Structure 1
Amino acid sequence: MFFTYLRRELRRRRKAALVVASGLALGIALVIVVSSVSTGMSRAQDKVLESLYGLGTDMTVTKAAAAPGSGEGRPKFEFDAKGDDDATQSSDRVMVQGFQTLASSTVTRIGGQNGVAGAVGGLSLNVMKVDGQFKRGEFKQQEGTGQSGRSGPGEQGGTGQPQGEVRGGGASFDVNSYSVYGTDVTEQNLGPLTSSKITKGRTFKTSETDAKVAVVDSAYAKEKKLDTGKTVTVHGTKFTIVGVSTADSGDAAANLYIPLKQAQTLADSKDKVTTVYVKAADSQQIDQVKSTIQKNVSGTTVTTSADLADTVSGSLSTASDLAAGVGKWLSIVVLAAAFLVAGLLTSSAVSRRVREFGTLKALGWKSGRVTRQVVGEALVNGLLGGVLGIGIGLAGAYLVTAISPTLTAQLGSSGGGMGGGAGGGRFMGGPGRAAASKTLDIALTAPVSLSVILTAVGLAVAGGLIAGGFGGWRASRLRPADALRRVE
């Protein structure tokens, strides 16, 4: 009887049911779209942060910034004189990113702190290479000046010096700067290399702690025409390329990756690292682990992913703020309005059915049964609105993913963090780039999770119950005698 009467009433009041369902559908769809876009924003920000120091890293530890004026000065290049005028001159210099290093023993100390699941050290380097040649100019004598350099009659001069000028000559040099990252090949589960995939060749072997081997970024390999099996020379040392890696985010942390010991030798920084990459045992305790490290390991700066996220600007940050702020509140307002409208429409429908409910009560229906009938109709309207809302929301999320609008994420100076101090941003490239300006283009997606769908169903049920509560309360207050005296 309940379902028969329910089906008949919904069919008879299709327009009113559709209005209620459409209002709820709009609110639910907006919630799904905003939630999915917010999830996409979060994933985009995670991708930006992973491009800085790799997957799985919760925080980085670097040496505290040095006092102004301290540290190494500008790089100097010296060239030896060579007899051949056209001889090519070449000189390079290996510099530590930020000019600030920590002792390798710091990695062990950090790894032993409470809440730390793993700690790996790395050395970030920047290599500046200058290639070119000097060309000697040619001396051009003035007309009328003999080989002896004496002027003829009526000519200026007479000092015994040749009269003329030097033409041509000069110098032509190329400056090439690239980044090199020294990685601990025995612990490759943390650090910048984890944000890249080996697309050709292989990665390092755990036995290659001091081997002259290298993994090259695919973009740099294409630019310099490098490939597996070939060699690349860094500061006079030849490294055999064993693998080519491609960054997941499209922007690698370094151009070349070599074993940590080799990087320390090149930079004359034995037992030194620039950055310690830390993984927390519990992702919910990152702030606590940060405080522990800062307290027990003096002279260091600890930077978490949340700290770096605060430095992200550009359209990605703006869109994320809109989705989290305006989008969330807009969803709440629209949803509340939809619930209110559904409740008012249901209550209004009860007012128009006063005689009907009065007759049913006169026939023996109790107030509770009338209330359940009204709530049942409203609940079906809510579920119908939920189905429509989920459909519209999924379509909206799919449209966002299909269009994949490109957002820019710019990482400004963080003042510390991975750059390793005040000089961390002097040279672009390498894992130390977090201290310098860096811009990434990220394609936005809008993934819809099961939890969002379940939330939508819950909202649909809640909307139906709220609307049914309005109408049921109104219907339960009707008395048969009063209702029969009223005319619709």
Structure 2
Amino acid sequence: MFGIYLKRELSRRKKAALVIAMGLALGIALVITVNSVSAGMTQAQGKVLKSLYGLGTDMTVTKAQSAPKAGSSQGPNFQFDAKSSSSTKQSSDRVMTQGGQALASSLVAKVAAQKGVSAAVGALTLNVTKVDGSFTQGKAKSSTSGSGGQQQGGPGGSSSGGSQPQVQGGGASFDVNSYSVAGVDVTDQELGPLATSKITSGKTFTSSQTTAKVAVVSASYAKSKKYKVGSTFKISGTTYTVIGVATPDSGDSTVDVFLPLKQAQTLGDAKNKVTTIYVKATDSQQISTVKKEIQSNISGTTVTTSADLASTVSGSLSTASDLATSVGKWLSIAVLAAAFLVAALLTSSAVSRRVREFGTLKALGWPSRKVTRQVVGESMVNGLIGGALGIALGLAAAYAVTAISPKLTAQLGGTGGGTGGPGGGPGGGGPGRQSASTTMEIALSAPVSLTTIALAVALAVTGGLIAGAMGGWRASRMRPADALRSVS
């Protein structure tokens, strides 16, 4: 009886039911869209942070650069020999550590032994500034004046006429090339700067190449230098062979050349030193606890987590994320509240127009609870219909965002100082990269999770219950006499 009556009443009031359902659908669709876009923002930020860290890295351990001593200079210093040849080619490499003060390699094992740490790997980041070019000597020339070629001098004799010799021509032409080098622990490449890239040509290091003079170069650097697998290049007189080309998972690589850690330590005159320790926690939910553990047991170090880095990301990605978090969520809440209120008012209004119907039902013996159940049942159906429409609209909006894939930019690594950037990693500042920033382009997607769908269903049921409760309360207060008074 309940089902039959419910179906008949909804069929009779299709327009009213559709208006209520559409109101709820718009609110639910907006909630789904905002949640899916926010999830896409989180994924995009994860890609950005992954480019700073490595795959599976939860935090880094570094040490802040100490202040330079008075009168000392940390800038590049080049010295060239003066030679007598007319055109002399000169070339010099200046290798400096960047990303903070160097740490002892023994700290890697100490960090790995801390409670909550799953793995720890050390890396050394260098900046190489290469200057090459040539000097060209000038030639001294003199010009004479006067017809006699000589003029009488004073009592001491005579002096030759003419002007002083002048140097003509000569000069210097030098090119300056600066690039970054990262020393990678070849025995554990799942963490560290190379973990954020995949080898697209050639191969990566093997665990036996700890001292081998081999290199992996980034795809962008290989393109600019026309390097390929088998190419060779020199750093400070040491020749390295390219064995692989690495392409970052997202954006541009912040490292140009990857070398085995021991080779990088030799180049940077930093034996048994690292600049960054990449750390993976055993439980991603306990990262803050692990951070405190490392800071309390290893003094003088700076521990930076992905949450700390998230605040350093700027650009349109950060702006859009803030909008989705603040404006978007508050807007969806406001629209959803308005949809619930409109549904409740429309249901209550519909009940007031059914005075004769409900009064007659009560006169026939229907108790108030049965009348209330009838109204709540109708509202629940309207809510479920609205939920289904809202899910469909929300999925369509999320699919449209993913299909369009708007590009968002993220700027990271700009410090404006001489020390390393957040975490001291390759993306940071440092000598040769001061005030530099890396700009990445991220394609925005809007993934819809099962949790979001479940939330939409819960909102649909809630909206139906709210509307049904208000309408049912009003219907339960009607008396049979009200039906008689409404008869004209």
TM-score, scaled relative to structure 1: 0.92
Match of residue 297 from structure 2: 296
Aligned residue pairs total: 477
> How far off its partner does 1:3 sit?
2.5
> How far off its partner does 1:53 sit?
1.8
> How far off its partner does 1:193 sit?
1.0
Structure 1 unaligned residues grouped into runs of 5+ = none
Match of residue 440 from structure 1: 440
Q: 1:230 to 1:43 in 2, by over 3 A?
A: same
1:303-324 per-position Cα deviation (integer Å, ceiling 9, x unaligned): 1111111112222212111111
Quick one: distance in 1 between partners of 2:436 and 2:423? Answer: 10
> How far off its partner does 1:64 sit?
3.2
1:10-69 per-position Cα deviation (integer Å, ceiling 9, x unaligned): 121111111111111111111111111111111111111111122211111011342354
Match of residue 285 from structure 1: 286
Match of residue 451 from structure 1: 451
What amino acid is the match of 2:482? D
Match of residue 461 from structure 2: 461
For 1:312, what is the secondary structure of its paired residue?
A: coil
Does 2:275 align with 1:270?
no
Q: 1:129 to 1:287 in 2, by over 3 A?
A: same
Q: 1:151 to 1:195 in 2, by over 3 A?
A: farther
What amino acid is the match of 2:201? K
Match of residue 251 from structure 2: 250
Quick one: distance in 2 between partners of 1:45 and 1:387? Answer: 31
Match of residue 324 from structure 1: 325
Equivalent residues in 2 for 1:165-180 (5 A)?
Answer: 165-180=166-181
Tell whether the 8 Å contact from 1:181 to 1:254 is kept in structure 2 after alignment: yes
Does 2:419 align with 1:418?
no
For 1:395, what is the secondary structure of its paired residue?
A: helix
What amino acid is the match of 1:269? A
Q: 1:152 to 1:460 in 2, by over 3 A?
A: farther
Equivalent residues in 2 for 1:7-46 (5 A)?
Answer: 7-46=7-46
Match of residue 90 from structure 2: 89
TM-score, scaled relative to structure 2: 0.92
Determine what percentage of the aligned residue pairs are the same residue: 67
What amino acid is the match of 1:485? R
Structure 2 unaligned residues grouped into runs of 5+ = 153-157
> How far off its partner does 1:417 sit?
3.5
Does 2:107 align with 1:106?
yes
Quick one: distance in 2 between partners of 1:3 and 1:56? Answer: 55
Match of residue 402 from structure 2: 401
> How far off its partner does 1:151 sit?
4.2
Match of residue 195 from structure 2: 194
What amino acid is the match of 2:424? G
For 1:313, what is the secondary structure of its paired residue?
A: coil
1:275-334 per-position Cα deviation (integer Å, ceiling 9, x unaligned): 000111111111111111111001111111111111122222121111111111111111
What amino acid is the match of 1:110? V
Runs of 4+ with deviation above 6 angstroms:
none
Q: 1:142 to 1:206 in 2, by over 3 A?
A: same
Match of residue 78 from structure 1: 79
What amino acid is the match of 2:15? K
For 2:430, what is the secondary structure of its paired residue?
A: coil
What amino acid is the match of 2:346? L
For 2:115, what is the secondary structure of its paired residue?
A: coil
1:381-427 per-position Cα deviation (integer Å, ceiling 9, x unaligned): 11111122112212222222233222222234397643379x94332
Q: 1:68 to 1:238 in 2, by over 3 A?
A: closer
What amino acid is the match of 1:114? K
Match of residue 470 from structure 2: 470
Match of residue 155 from structure 2: none
Quick one: distance in 1 between partners of 2:159 and 2:8? Answer: 125
> How far off its partner does 1:234 sit?
1.5
Of residues 175-184 and 51-60 in structure 1, the stretch that sits farther from structure 2 once superposed is 51-60
Match of residue 484 from structure 2: 484
Q: What is the CA RMSD across the aligned residues, in angstroms?
A: 2.4
Tell whether the 8 Å contact from 2:151 to 2:159 is kept in structure 1 after alignment: no
